[in-house]
A and B are shown apart, each in its own frame.
Chain A
Amino acid sequence: MPLLTALGRRLLVVVPILAVVSMLLFTALRILPVDPAAMSVPPNATKAEIEVARRQMGLDRPLPEQYGIWLGHVLRGDFGRSIHLRRPVTELIGESLPATIELAACAMLVAGVLGLAGGLLLFALRDRAMEAVAETGTTLLMSIPEFLWALLFIFVFGVLLQAMPFTGRIDPALRLPLVTGFLLLDALLVGRPDILVSALQHMVLPATALGIAFAPPIMRVLRASLLDVYHEDYITQARLRGLSPARVLLAHALRNAALPTLTLMGVQFGFLFGGSLLVEVIYSYPGMGNLMVDAVRNADLPVIQAVGLTYCVVVLAINSVVDGLYLVLNPRLRAR
């Protein structure tokens, strides 16, 4: 029950934030020096035809009214039509959001595995001569943002070794089985191992580039938590009982050090989700990032608004889930 109350409280925070975000997005983009009406008509349209388009798009009404209309549509799941692509924005987001979530989830998996391995390595090296080297190593790793990893991987694995595909989600000769939009899942659902293999191959480079950039902070927090835990009494007791160091580490310490690490990974997931934008652009991966960059270049307001809002919703949703997990994993907090 306390969990539900906590989540309810969380919802009370999230809804006003979304309201403010949507308002900011709407007004900020209306001030832009572009005319959506003029851009929605064919090149040889007359001034009168532009005015007709303006009225049809509701752009002649006062700003608060426009916002009200837009919000009303949005709440019903209608983000309007893309000016540039001339398709319903909801459809565009429906096609690209699963791709981005899939990429972010795979990248998080990579970050988690690397973070765990690196954190344990750092911890094993504590109080040794190598410690300083290893720590400087993580600082240097943290200095390579995801888009540099992405470019380096293309160069090494795509161009030099020609070992990995680096454009798109799937081999162009294969057809996307559109069930859920999550390609890996869909390949399993329709029972097509060839699609699964191709999709995995296309996922390796972008997911690793994105994941590896977010691994070093996880390594550090895991190491720090493990160090903290080792000061606690029960570890000393376990050691005194003669348990092997490996057993102490895995059975006792790691479990107790997991909480801060998981919290951090939750926070990281939000950042990682935004960081996927550049990786998508570099790998021509058809997700929200590419949709966003295209929309920005073409001043496609309905798409920019919708994609901006979707990113916020996803980030807030991730944060809420992380908060919930935190409560589940840490019963002490629930009592408060």
Chain B
Amino acid sequence: MAGLSRRTLLTSAAAGLGAATLAAPSVVRAATDSATIGWNTDVPSWDPNQRFVPDAQSIFKAVYDQPLDQDPKLKLVPHLIKTWALAPDGLSLAVELRDDVAFHNGDKMTSADFRWTFFERIKAGHKIDIAQSWRKVTDIETPSATKAVMRFNSPAPTAPAWLAFLGSYMVPKAYMEKVGLEGFNAKPVGSGPYKLVEYQMNARIILERNEQYWGPKAPLKRITIEVIKDQTARVAAVQSGQVDLTAGVPVRETTRLGKLAGLAGELNPITRIILLQVRNDMGFADPNIRLAAHHAIDKAALSRAFYAGAAVPLSVPGVPGSPGYLEDFHFAYDPKLAMQLLAKSGYGPKKPARIRMATTNGTFASDYDIARAIVQMWKKVGIEAELEVIEYAKYFELNRGNKLPESTLYSFDNATGDPEIYAGYLLNPKLPFSPWKDPVFGEKVIALFNVADEKARIAGWRALNKEAVEIGACMPLLQSVQTLVRKKALDYTRYGNGWVLPQTMRWS
């Protein structure tokens, strides 16, 4: 609390007196040169290739660089890679790297590091998640220190998108080979706008500006990230001024905190979607029941009740503005139609169709409430759903054993916005996400992974998105919102995928 009043005093003094800030320049500089962030998760490890954790990406992006980047509107933009060209057959990707990039230890970044990160590490059997995203890579040729060609065993049209996605961070070959994996974890070296200067697992990360950064320098010299896993504790921390910015607080708390003096609360729609993952058999074998279940859900009411109306109701698995989104396709909320569909199959409120539904509790904002609200909406039209609570980690284990219930409330993060990483992942029977195992539809999904032509590919996914919803294989609900509370004076750049990057933060 002392911190808040002191800082508000100082900043308001600075604003009110203008030139009079000269009175105590050193104090003001100390306050405006650093920021403290309350974040909900720690990095899974400092090896950025190792595990896919969406919430850790903002931290990784401060210390490491990705080959390609996304602008705030999620367009792919050059980063470590200056130019790139995907072959028409989709079987190779030629890239040209910058020649002015140095890692934090002074080593120059070259194509050897690129080959190491995306090919040699995987071949060496390192246990890293990017081994899955780059499994198509058969080799990476390095004709010069700045040029490289990735070769694939099947068309990889989303390879550029993946170069800016989860886990694709450039790591230094020479340093990693010298100190080993354990050594790297203990003293990580990247090429990003910040260097790691202090780390306490599950508690605190302290970053300091990389003064030799090749790109635009970060405005703030020092960033402290407090790992606060409990959302109530994050609320308390930002309210008392212990942290300057925090994300992932309950929606209602965000609205309440936003009304306090000196604080701003934001509900930002992001590329994460909330949907029901469904099975094609058991109680959902009958398409009438599936479609009735979908028509019975009042998505606008869910958004109003749990997201202050900020979450956009969805009809396809994709968010507005992303290439796979269909502006003119709406799946109606229509309980009467739902009852007619159920009646066709002989069900109704008196004789309900029985299914099961799984949900997480606390994995994302209001998940358990949304699930219980849907159960109630279904009950009104004649679908009796038995609800069970599962942990997020259990989803994959259950799906692998074919033991998921008919419907599961699920949230899926896709920072790229690419339709393949929405519908393609959510509905591909060969990937661990989809409980929909119908082989006919599955073939269509898998076939689209191999379309190299960009226009045909996007058109294909758009058609598939519509079909998936029309046959009841997919029940998109809402575009997720990121809740964020910050001191009004601390601004940052909003990204469509929810990144909150330390290098964009500045005091006003």
Q: Please tell me whether chains A and B touch each other in their complex, using a CB distance cut-off of 8 A.
A: yes
Identity of the chain A residue whose Cβ is nearest the Cβ of B3 in the assembled complex: A173
Identity of the chain B residue whose Cβ is nearest the Cβ of A171 in the assembled complex: B242
Q: Which residues of B lie under 8 Å from residue A165 when comparing CB positions? A: 236
Contact between B432 and A43 (Cβ–Cβ < 8 Å)? yes
Contact between B393 and A84 (Cβ–Cβ < 8 Å)? yes
B237 at the interface (CB under 8 A from A): yes
Contact residue among B38, B397, B433 (Cβ-Cβ distance under 8 Å from A38): B397
Interface size classification for chain A: 20 to 34
Query: B218-238 vs A: 1/0 string, CB under 8 Å?
Result: 000000001010101100110
Q: Within the assembled complex, what's the spacing in Å between the Cα atoms of A176 and B397?
A: 37
Contact between B233 and A284 (Cβ–Cβ < 8 Å)? yes
Q: Which residues of B lie under 8 Å from residue A284 when comparing CB positions? A: 230, 232-233
A320 at the interface (CB under 8 A from B): no
B82 at the interface (CB under 8 A from A): no
For A34, A166, A297, the residue with the greatest tally of chain B CB atoms inside 10 Å of its CB is: A297
Identity of the chain A residue whose Cβ is nearest the Cβ of B198 in the assembled complex: A175
Identity of the chain A residue whose Cβ is nearest the Cβ of B129 in the assembled complex: A42
Contact between B397 and A39 (Cβ–Cβ < 8 Å)? yes
Contact between B203 and A176 (Cβ–Cβ < 8 Å)? yes
User: Beyond A175-B200, A175-B203, is A167–B232 a contact (Cβ under 8 Å)?
Assistant: yes
B497 at the interface (CB under 8 A from A): no
Q: Which residues of A lie under 8 Å from residue B243 when comparing CB positions? A: 172-173
A298 at the interface (CB under 8 A from B): yes
Contact between B394 and A167 (Cβ–Cβ < 8 Å)? no
Q: Within the assembled complex, what's the spacing in Å between the Cα atoms of A176 and B51?
A: 27
Contact between B232 and A172 (Cβ–Cβ < 8 Å)? no
Identity of the chain A residue whose Cβ is nearest the Cβ of B400 in the assembled complex: A38
Q: Within the assembled complex, what's the spacing in Å between the Cα atoms of A168 and B240?
A: 15
Contact between B432 and A172 (Cβ–Cβ < 8 Å)? no
Q: Name the distance in Å between A316's Cβ and chain B's nearest Cβ.
A: 30
User: Beyond A38-B400, A38-B401, A173-B36, is A167–B233 a contact (Cβ under 8 Å)?
Assistant: yes
Contact residue among A44, A47, A176, A298 (Cβ-Cβ distance under 8 Å from B393): A298
Contact between A172 and B233 (Cβ–Cβ < 8 Å)? yes
B301 at the interface (CB under 8 A from A): no
Interface residues of A in 163-208 (CB under 8 A from B): 165-168, 171-173, 175-176
B431 at the interface (CB under 8 A from A): yes
Contact residue among A43, A47, A172 (Cβ-Cβ distance under 8 Å from B38): A172
Q: Which residues of B lie under 8 Å from residue A39 when comparing CB positions? A: 393-394, 397
Q: Which residues of B lie under 8 Å from residue A60 when comparing CB positions? A: none
Contact residue among A44, A166, A299 (Cβ-Cβ distance under 8 Å from B432): A44
Q: Which residues of A lie under 8 Å from residue B228 when comparing CB positions? A: 172
B396 at the interface (CB under 8 A from A): yes
Q: Within the assembled complex, what's the spacing in Å between the Cα atoms of A175 and B393?
A: 31
Query: A36-69 vs B: 1/0 string, CB under 8 Å?
Result: 0011001110010010000000000000000000
Identity of the chain B residue whose Cβ is nearest the Cβ of A84 in the assembled complex: B393
Contact between B401 and A44 (Cβ–Cβ < 8 Å)? no
B391 at the interface (CB under 8 A from A): yes
Contact between A35 and B397 (Cβ–Cβ < 8 Å)? yes
Q: Which residues of B lie under 8 Å from residue A168 when comparing CB positions? A: 230, 233
Contact between B230 and A167 (Cβ–Cβ < 8 Å)? yes
User: Beyond A39-B394, A297-B391, A299-B394, is A175–B204 a contact (Cβ under 8 Å)?
Assistant: yes
B132 at the interface (CB under 8 A from A): yes
Q: Which residues of A lie under 8 Å from residue B233 when comparing CB positions? A: 167-168, 172, 284
Q: Within the assembled complex, what's the spacing in Å between the Cα atoms of A284 and B132?
A: 36
Interface residues of A in 146-178 (CB under 8 A from B): 165-168, 171-173, 175-176
Contact between B242 and A44 (Cβ–Cβ < 8 Å)? no
Interface size classification for chain B: 20 to 34
Q: Name the distance in Å between B199's Cβ and chain A's nearest Cβ.
A: 12
User: Beyond A44-B132, A44-B432, is A172–B393 a contact (Cβ under 8 Å)?
Assistant: no
Q: Within the assembled complex, what's the spacing in Å between the Cα atoms of A297 and B361?
A: 11
Interface residues of A in 121-141 (CB under 8 A from B): none
Q: Within the assembled complex, what's the spacing in Å between the Cα atoms of A167 and B391?
A: 23
Query: B417-434 vs A: 1/0 string, CB under 8 Å?
Result: 000000000000001110
Q: Which residues of B lie under 8 Å from residue A167 when comparing CB positions? A: 230, 232-233, 236
Contact residue among A35, A50, A84, A172 (Cβ-Cβ distance under 8 Å from B242): A172
Q: Which residues of B lie under 8 Å from residue A166 when comparing CB positions? A: 236
Q: Which residues of A lie under 8 Å from residue B433 when comparing CB positions? A: 43
For A34, A165, A176, A284, the residue with the greatest tally of chain B CB atoms inside 10 Å of its CB is: A284
Query: B190-206 vs A: 1/0 string, CB under 8 Å?
Result: 00000000001001100
Identity of the chain B residue whose Cβ is nearest the Cβ of A173 in the assembled complex: B242
Q: Within the assembled complex, what's the spacing in Å between the Cα atoms of A50 and B396?
A: 13
Q: Within the assembled complex, what's the spacing in Å between the Cα atoms of A42 and B397?
A: 10
Query: B137-177 vs A: 1/0 string, CB under 8 Å?
Result: 00000000000000000000000000000000000000000
Q: Within the assembled complex, what's the spacing in Å between the Cα atoms of A316 and B114?
A: 57
Query: A12-45 vs B: 1/0 string, CB under 8 Å?
Result: 0000000000000000000000110011001110
Interface residues of B in 258-310 (CB under 8 A from A): none
Q: Which residues of A lie under 8 Å from residue B200 when comparing CB positions? A: 175-176
Q: Name the distance in Å between B492's Cβ and chain A's nearest Cβ.
A: 20
Contact between A43 and B396 (Cβ–Cβ < 8 Å)? yes
Interface residues of B in 387-405 (CB under 8 A from A): 391, 393-394, 396-397, 400-401
Q: Within the assembled complex, what's the spacing in Å between the Cα atoms of A34 and B200?
A: 33
Q: Which residues of B lie under 8 Å from residue A297 when comparing CB positions? A: 391
Q: Which residues of A lie under 8 Å from residue B230 when comparing CB positions? A: 167-168, 284
Query: B29-45 vs A: 1/0 string, CB under 8 Å?
Result: 00000001010000000
Contact residue among B203, B391, B400 (Cβ-Cβ distance under 8 Å from A298): B391
Q: Which residues of B lie under 8 Å from residue A34 when comparing CB positions? A: 394, 397
Q: Within the assembled complex, what's the spacing in Å between the Cα atoms of A166 and B237?
A: 11
Q: Name the distance in Å between B460's Cβ and chain A's nearest Cβ.
A: 23
Q: Which residues of A lie under 8 Å from residue B132 when comparing CB positions? A: 42, 44
Q: Which residues of B lie under 8 Å from residue A173 when comparing CB positions? A: 3, 36, 226, 242-243
Q: Name the distance in Å between A48's Cβ and chain B's nearest Cβ.
A: 12
Q: Which residues of A lie under 8 Å from residue B396 when comparing CB positions? A: 43
Identity of the chain A residue whose Cβ is nearest the Cβ of B403 in the assembled complex: A33
Q: Within the assembled complex, what's the spacing in Å between the Cα atoms of A289 and B29?
A: 43
Q: Within the assembled complex, what's the spacing in Å between the Cα atoms of A42 and B432?
A: 10
Q: Name the distance in Å between B473's Cβ and chain A's nearest Cβ.
A: 20
Q: Name the distance in Å between B247's Cβ and chain A's nearest Cβ.
A: 15
Chain A residues near B (Cβ < 8 Å): 34-35, 38-39, 42-44, 47, 50, 84, 165-168, 171-173, 175-176, 284, 297-299
Pairs A-B, 5 closest by C-beta atoms: A167-B233, A43-B396, A284-B230, A43-B432, A38-B397
**Extra inter-chain contacts (16) besides given A39-B397, A173-B3, A297-B391, CB under 8 Å:** A34-B397, A35-B397, A38-B397, A38-B400, A42-B132, A43-B433, A166-B236, A167-B233, A168-B230, A172-B38, A172-B237, A172-B242, A175-B200, A176-B200, A176-B203, A299-B394
Name 14 interchain pairs, CB-CB below 8 A, sorted by A.
Answer: A39-B393, A39-B397, A42-B51, A42-B129, A43-B432, A43-B433, A166-B236, A168-B230, A172-B237, A173-B226, A175-B200, A297-B391, A298-B393, A299-B394
